[in-house]
Amino acid sequence: MNDSQAAHGGLDDAELSQLYQEVILDHYRSPRNKRELEETTHTVTMNNPLCGDVIDLLLQVKGGRIADVSFQGKGCSISQASASMMTERLKGQSVDEALALSGTFTRMLHGDPEAAGSTELGDLRALAGVAKFPVRVKCALLAWNCLQELVGPEA
């Protein structure tokens, strides 16, 4: 077993790629947290005019923590899966933790190998392959850009 296989539970690159594709498709077909949100404290809608992706991100922030999060919208499998995966990871995190995760995710999509290897990302690493397709990076980052707009330093 080589170092790459050891780091990924014995899976070779082809098996890992297939697993990641399945994770993305699962989130696209059965999105998590795609719903209305009661008692919303932060909302924003963003779109990617080049491909028609639209994300409405809804947050409920209490005491500096993301108590609940949901999204609505439409678009390609990458934008919708990314939003679904993001909402799963953000629940319960502090705003600062969420912004740090967003930074790591963004660096991964811009090809940073250190960020791509971060265990902090968990299943979000399934989207690392998007970095090979620059036109799709905007799709994967749309929900994350919504997060930055809502609670980022300039928000």
Instruction: Calculate mean pLDDT across residues 8-16.
Output: 58
- CATH code where residue 108 lies: 3.90.1010.10
Report whether pLDDT(4) > 50.
no
* Cα–Cα dist 112/109, whole Å: 7
Number of domains in the chain: 1
Domain range enclosing 123? 3-151
Instruction: Calculate mean pLDDT across residues 117-136.
Output: 92
Per-residue pLDDT tens over the stretch 43-99: 999 999 888 999 999 999 999 999 999 999 999 999 999 999 999 999 999 999 999
Report CA Rg, the chain: 15
Q: pLDDT confidence of 8, banded at 50, 70, 90?
A: very low
Q: Whole-model pTM?
A: 0.88
Tokens 């491909």 correspond to: 51
Looking at every residue in the chain, the average pLDDT score rounds to: 90
Tokens 């050891």 correspond to: 6
Q: Measuring CA to CA, how many Å separate 126 from each of 17, 96, 109, 117?
A: 8, 23, 11, 11
